[in-house]
Amino acid sequence: MWHGAVKIGVNELDLDHANIDYIIRSILERCGSDLDTQLVPAFLAHIEHEEKIIAAMDRKFPAEHKKEHRHIAVVLHLLEAERNKNMIDDYKFAQEVKTLLTLHVLDFDTKLLQTTEGSC
């Protein structure tokens, strides 16, 4: 559980990451798993959740981080479209999403509590 091991310090968001990681690992370990349809919705829901949770903590969400979320959403939709057209298989699809999540957690999410300051 790689992402579950990299804590960002907000329990609800760490649980989201661990859940997405679980879906990814399930797809990678069992090709054809019905969890493949849950991966993109789970990731998109997490992005929205992350921004709401930080706002609820009275912290300003960094503009660059928000911009990266929008970029990830576009990439996720593209990957899903490629998978639906059988241009990539479930394994490649899960690997690509894993890379997206891994880089994002390391480059942005782990810095959330350090870079977000109180809004007042």
Question: Of residues 21-60, which lie at the interface with Fe ion (CB under 5 A)?
Answer: 50
The C-alpha atoms of residue 23 and residue 53 are separated, in whole angstroms, by 22
> Would you give the binding string for Fe ion spanning residues 64-103, x where CB under 5 A is met?
----------------------------------------
The C-alpha atoms of residue 74 and residue 68 are separated, in whole angstroms, by 10
Question: What are the two backbone dihedrals, phi and then psi, of residue 78, each rounded to the nearest 5 degrees?
Answer: -65, -45
Among residues 4, 51, 109, 118, the one that binds Fe ion under rule CB under 5 A: 109
Rounded to a whole number of angstroms, the minimum distance from the CB of residue 105 to Fe ion is 6
- Please work out, in degrees rounded to the nearest 5, the angle formed at the alpha carbon of residue 43 by the alpha carbons of 37 and 49: 135
Residue 14 makes contact with Fe ion by CB under 5 A? no
Site residues, Fe ion (CB under 5 A): 50, 108-109
